[in-house]
């Protein structure tokens, strides 16, 4: 009886160790902005804008060459809001409607940054790399993807007049919603 309990405990422990080796991939979702949490920097009083959302996108990788000279690249990607660089001039927000509209506009910047994260991950991860081209190809591709979304951030602000044009903002909201739904 004692051996049976020991074997059962050992089997349970092995199952636990085996299963704990598998990590479930958490779904990454874009940050939902909040003035108090994500806008901690002192506002730029010389700026004509009411708010600024600073975002970041980063990638890193490590490479190994196995037997038969097979290249293995392990990528890591991250993106998000930089609260210590983001700011809002609360005294320039006149009412709840203006507050919602401005926060919605700033959220659009976060969505564009999230699209950068996902597109960058897909494009960079799924290229054909060789031992001789992978470093330059990763860098070149990351720069292209980053520039595309940086330009999109600028177009977003220009076309919406930084959120002041409700019709243009609505069109961008629809576009961003559509792009985000494609990721699901």
From the list 117, 113, 116, 103, the residue with the least C-alpha distance to 33 is 103
Which residue is it, tokens 């939902």? 32
Q: Is residue 51 part of a domain?
A: yes
Q: Is residue 95 part of a domain?
A: yes
**How many C-beta neighbours within 10 Å does residue 105 have?**
23
Which range marks the domain in which residue 103 is found? 30-182
Q: What is the mean pLDDT of residues 109-119?
A: 98
Q: What is the CA radius of gyration of the chain?
A: 23
Q: Is residue 164 part of a domain?
A: yes
In this predicted structure, what is the pLDDT of residue 27? Answer: 59
State the total domains in the chain: 1
Q: Is residue 3 part of a domain?
A: no
Q: Is residue 145 part of a domain?
A: yes
- CA distances (Å), origin 105, targets 41, 97, 129, 145: 18, 12, 38, 22
pTM to 2 decimals?
Answer: 0.83
Q: Is residue 163 part of a domain?
A: yes
Q: Does residue 68 surpass a pLDDT of 90?
A: no
Q: Which of 11-15, 48-52, 69-73, 106-110 has the lowest mean pLDDT?
A: 11-15
Token pair, residue 61, equals 């990788």
Q: Is residue 74 part of a domain?
A: yes
Please give, one letter per residue, the 3-state secondary structure of the chain: CHHHHHHHHHHHHHHHHHHHCCCCCCCCCCCCCCHHHHCCCCCCCCCCCCEECCEEEEEEEEEEECHHHCEEEEEEEEEEECCCCCEECHHHCCCHHHHHHHHHHHHHHHHHHHHHHHHHHHHHHCCCCCCCCHHHHHHHHHHHHHHHHHHHHHHHHHHHCCCCCHHHHHHHHHHHHHHHHHCC
Q: Is residue 18 part of a domain?
A: no
pLDDT grade, residue 43 (50/70/90)?
very high
Q: Does residue 10 surpass a pLDDT of 80?
A: no
């Amino acid at each position: 009886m004692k051996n049976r309990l020991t074997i059962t405990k050992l089997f349970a422990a092995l199952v636990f160790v085996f299963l704990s080796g598998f990590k479930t991939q958490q779904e990454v979702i874009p940050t939902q902005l909040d003035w108090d949490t994500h806008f901690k920097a002192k506002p730029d009083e010389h700026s004509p804008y009411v708010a600024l959302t600073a975002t970041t996108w980063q990638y890193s990788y490590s490479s190994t060459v196995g037997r038969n000279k097979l290249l293995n690249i392990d990528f890591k990607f991250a993106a998000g809001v930089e609260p210590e660089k983001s700011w809002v001039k609360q005294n320039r927000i006149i009412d709840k409607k203006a507050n919602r509209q401005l926060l919605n506009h700033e959220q659009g910047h976060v969505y564009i940054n999230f699209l950068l994260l996902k597109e960058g991950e897909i494009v960079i991860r799924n290229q054909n790399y060789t031992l001789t081209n992978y470093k330059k190809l990763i860098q070149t591709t990351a720069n292209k993807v980053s520039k595309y979304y940086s330009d999109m951030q600028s177009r977003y602000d220009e076309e919406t007049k930084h959120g002041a044009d409700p019709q243009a903002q609505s069109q961008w909201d629809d576009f961003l919603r559509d792009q985000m739904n494609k990721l699901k």
